[in-house]
Amino acid sequence: MSTDINAKSSEAAAVPLPSGRPPENKRVPQGHRRLLTRRDRVTLAFMAGVPTVLHVALVWFTALASIALAFTTWDGIGFDSIKWVGLDNFKELFSTNPQFWPAVEHNIVWFVVLILIPTPLGLFLAVQLDKKIRFSRVYQTAFFLPVVMSLAVIGFVWQLVYNPDTGLINSVIGANKPGHYIDWIGDPDLNLWAVLVAASWRHAGYMMILYLAGLKGVDPSLREASSLDGANEWQTFKNVIFPTLRPTNTIVLVVTIIEALRAFDLVWVFNGGAQGTELLSILVTDNIVGESSRIGYGSAIAVVLLLISLVVIIPYLVSTFRKERQA
Amino acid sequence: MHESSLARPIPGPSRRTMLRGIGGAAALGAGIPLLSACGGSDTSADPKTVTLGSNASDAVPKKAFAEIYAAFKKQSGITVDVNTKDHNTFQEQINSYLQGTPDDVFHWFAGYRMQFFANKGLATPIDDVWKTIGGNFPDAMKKLSQGEDGKFYFVPLYTYPWALFYRKSVFKEKGYEVPTTWSDFIALCKQMKKDGLVPIAFGDKDAWPALGTFDQINFRTNGYDFHVELMAGKASWTDKRVRAAFDNWAEILPYHQDGAVGRTWQDAAQTLVSKKAGMYLLGTFVGQQFTDKADLDDLDFFAFPEIDPAYGQDTVEAPTDGYMLSKSPKNKSGAVKLLEFLGTPEAEQIYLKADPNVVAASTKADTSSYSPLQKKAYEMINGAKSLTQYMDRDSRPDFTSTVMQPALQKFIRDPKGVDSLLSSIERQKKTIFASS
């Protein structure tokens, strides 16, 4: 059946050439009308309809449902056990939950560290690799390798490195004996930084690829011009290259914020979000997943996370759309 | 460039692939109900089949259970259709599983966690089963199998006590004696430290081992009844008795292994295997870490020492696993027959033959094939006045996992902050227990 339509349209397309009557056949509208048969319209409705229904059901409905559930208590058993409690969940969250504020703080620390350490490092690596040094592809692959791996796997690998009894670090520096013992995973003053090293290890490679792509877009004549003006390498980078990376920087900023907000898997496998590594996403999971869950309370935490995300996303979208309208 | 490519008529092949794709999606859509129908009620009408939801995803117990069901089929002609899920997944999904179309019979834990689902009407009482199997079990097991309404909801299969494990050879070599009182215990810890041993191995990375430690100290200090009250959310965590238990814990905390929060129980067990630690408080499953036969023969244990003579050593922490009947089983008579079979000593013996790390819940089971360790565990449970189920099975799981686990990890790291910690626990407990 599809060949049938196919034949018709290809016939329509094929006719003009041999017949040599250009003026009439050039008319595009006719072709457009032919293009959308009834079946096509059904098909398109189907193609647009199914994703829309799925999107509304899986994204909007669930998001709105969790906002509504944030004002209730519910153990997940039967809909009749949902009880409206107003702002109680939030009150409890802000006042009595000892893990909430540390979690917010850790999410912020996560962002600050990612933007201050691996991001400049990724930029540095990208600039070096962009010079087409020897074995550039090898380095590129090596730095990008962690990005290919799942964060959960990275968590497992680094857990082996940090294991206080048998891990690489403590074995090498001899810090696994009583008396001088470094508990990388359990010590709340250390473990967040330990996880962040692993997160940075991956993030640097990610940033490197983004900046590398950005650098490929820099017009070579700009470099030429600046070198003709007698600028040294640092001056060229600072005054010419970096300003042209502006769009890339925006993407990097957004990607890093997203990484900081969704930080979860690495910590989950590292130590399950114990003392010192609490994160909002982990609190949500702790409260919702399980045999007798606190779905209302977990949703309240999720709503807080959503609000923080919106604070970040809305200005970004507004500025992006404004730019598009201008263009 | 983009505009021109859009104006071009869509070439044939891509349209065809598109349509084929839609056809595929439609077939997939049609496939979903078909698949779910397979998992649903197809087999329900068959009186010769009982379905069973199992969390026994590890190789050893899975095989042991399969042997029990084979024996049941031989005896009754009823096939047990087992639906095995990964252990943790089973636990995480138990809520929706029991509310959907659960299997007739399902694996679960005794005590509060059984009562929780019984209270919610997600299980069927099985008093008639207990009329048949009641004689096989000691009173402590009966108590564990009853819901808050006094009806039976649970058939226990096996159990395992928590105790202090040690190496016989180490104790012999250094001339240590098994301590039975608190002061003996502390003296032993001091001596071990002097001898260059870690007195008590400890790993709390998974956050549950500390719950077991607290339980032992709490019911030795305050007795079984207080343990139950506290776990049920009735007693206050700011009660001075709780404070006394934490003071006792703080007293022995310096003898625990350094950096417990970063260590798994398996790693902690290795320090006992390698004779670097003198003792280790855990369930009998610690034996799984003793892969060398000679080491395992060298392993022994003793009950947690007495703290208050009024309570002595009469309480034993013994988590118990078994079966429950779902809310509306499709083959109830078959399921009842299965549960009656599972409550017999024969069923337990089949299981224990294949998995020797636990002991039978029934007093009638033949103990002649038990290892010395199993015999000792069996006697310990049999002689106990009360059995506890381990904190996260004796209390609301949402409370223990979101409040107690992080709180105890905090205590281990900073025992001095206990007062503010306890009032924080109490505040959180109130809201959780008030919620439903």
Per-residue confidence in pLDDT tens, chain B, 436 aa? 333 333 333 333 333 333 343 333 333 333 333 333 334 444 445 788 999 999 988 877 888 899 999 999 999 999 999 999 988 788 888 888 898 889 999 999 988 888 888 988 999 999 999 999 999 998 888 888 999 899 999 999 999 999 999 999 999 999 999 999 999 999 999 999 999 999 999 999 888 899 999 999 999 999 999 998 999 899 999 999 999 999 999 999 999 998 899 899 999 999 999 999 999 999 988 888 888 889 989 999 999 999 999 999 999 999 999 999 999 999 999 999 999 999 999 998 888 887 777 888 888 888 888 888 889 998 898 888 888 888 777 888 889 888 999 999 999 988 999 999 999 999 999 988 886 5
Mean pLDDT of chain A: 85
Residue among A10, A76, A185 minimizing CB distance to B205: A185
Interface membership of B59 toward A (CB under 8 Å): no
Interface membership of A219 toward B (CB under 8 Å): no
Query: Given this model, what pLDDT does residue B226 score?
Result: 95
Interface membership of A184 toward B (CB under 8 Å): yes
Mutate to test the interface with A, among B6, B99, B119, B261 (most CBs of A within 10 A): B261
Interface membership of A291 toward B (CB under 8 Å): yes
Query: Given this model, what pLDDT does residue A267 score?
Result: 92
Mutate to test the interface with B, among A291, A294, A301 (most CBs of B within 10 A): A291
SS3 A190: coil
Query: Given this model, what pLDDT does residue B31 score?
Result: 35
| Residue range A251-255: mean pLDDT, rounded | 90
Q: Are B397 and B408 in contact (CB under 8 A)?
A: no
Which residue bears the tokens 């009844």? B225
Q: Are B152 and B353 in contact (CB under 8 A)?
A: no
| Residue range A141-162: mean pLDDT, rounded | 89
Q: Do B262 and A289 touch (CB under 8 A)?
A: no
Mutate to test the interface with B, among A10, A69, A165, A268 (most CBs of B within 10 A): A165
Q: Do B402 and A187 touch (CB under 8 A)?
A: no
Query: Given this model, what pLDDT does residue B14 score?
Result: 39
Query: Given this model, what pLDDT does residue B303 score?
Result: 96
Residue among B99, B413, B435 minimizing CB distance to A77: B99
Could you list the beta-strand ranges (E) of B257-369. Answer: 277-283, 299-302, 315-317, 320-325, 359-360
Nearest-CA distance from A305 to chain B in Å?
18
Q: Are A97 and B402 in contact (CB under 8 A)?
A: no
* Chain B environment of A83 (Cβ under 8 Å): 435-436
Query: Given this model, what pLDDT does residue A33 score?
Result: 57
Residue among A3, A28, A164 minimizing CB distance to B263: A164
Residue among A35, A99, A166 minimizing CB distance to B406: A99
* Chain A environment of B6 (Cβ under 8 Å): none
Which residue bears the tokens 């339980």? B215
CA–CA separation, B200 vs B166, rounded Å?
Answer: 10
Q: Which is nearest to A241 in space by CA: A211, A268, A197? A: A211
Number of Cβ atoms within 10 Å of the Cβ of B176 = 17
Number of CB pairs, chain A paired with chain B, less than 8 A apart: 145
Q: Are B117 and B147 in contact (CB under 8 A)?
A: no
| Residue range A306-310: mean pLDDT, rounded | 90
Which residue bears the tokens 């379905």? B51
The secondary structure element, H or E, covering residue B81 is strand B79-84
Q: ipTM of the predicted structure?
A: 0.77
Q: Do A186 and B401 touch (CB under 8 A)?
A: no
The side-by-side arrangement of strands in the sheet containing B277-283 is B198-201, B277-283, B162-167, B299-302
Confidence of residue A32 (pLDDT cuts 50, 70, 90): low
Interface membership of B267 toward A (CB under 8 Å): yes
Q: Are A156 and A266 in contact (CB under 8 A)?
A: no
User: In this model, does residue A177 exceed pLDDT 50?
Assistant: yes
* Chain B environment of A77 (Cβ under 8 Å): 95, 98-99, 120, 122
CA–CA separation, A42 vs B27, rounded Å?
Answer: 17
Window A:251-280, CB contacts with B under 8 Å: 271-272, 274-275
Q: Do B406 and A10 touch (CB under 8 A)?
A: no
What are the residues whose beta carbons fall under 8 Å from the beta carbon of A74, sequence distance 6 or more? A81, A82, A83, A295, A296
What is the DSSP annotation of A238-294? IIIIHHHTHHHHHHHHHHHHHHHHH--HHHHHHHTT-TT---HHHHHHHHHSSSS--
Sign of the C-alpha dihedral, residues B410, B411, B416, B422?
Answer: positive
Q: What is the pTM of this model?
A: 0.80
Q: Do B12 and A76 touch (CB under 8 A)?
A: no
Residue among A6, A28, A290 minimizing CB distance to B397: A290
Interface membership of A97 toward B (CB under 8 Å): yes
pLDDT digits 0-9 by tens, A35-65: 788 888 899 999 999 999 999 999 999 999 9
**Chain A residue with minimum CA distance to B257:** A178
Interface membership of A296 toward B (CB under 8 Å): yes
Residue among A13, A73, A85 minimizing CB distance to B9: A13
Percent of chain A exceeding pLDDT 90 equals 39
| Residue range A220-249: mean pLDDT, rounded | 88
What is the DSSP annotation of B23-36? HHHHHHHHHHHHHH
Interface membership of B86 toward A (CB under 8 Å): no
Alpha carbon separation from B183 to B163, B164, B194 (Å, rounded): 18, 16, 17
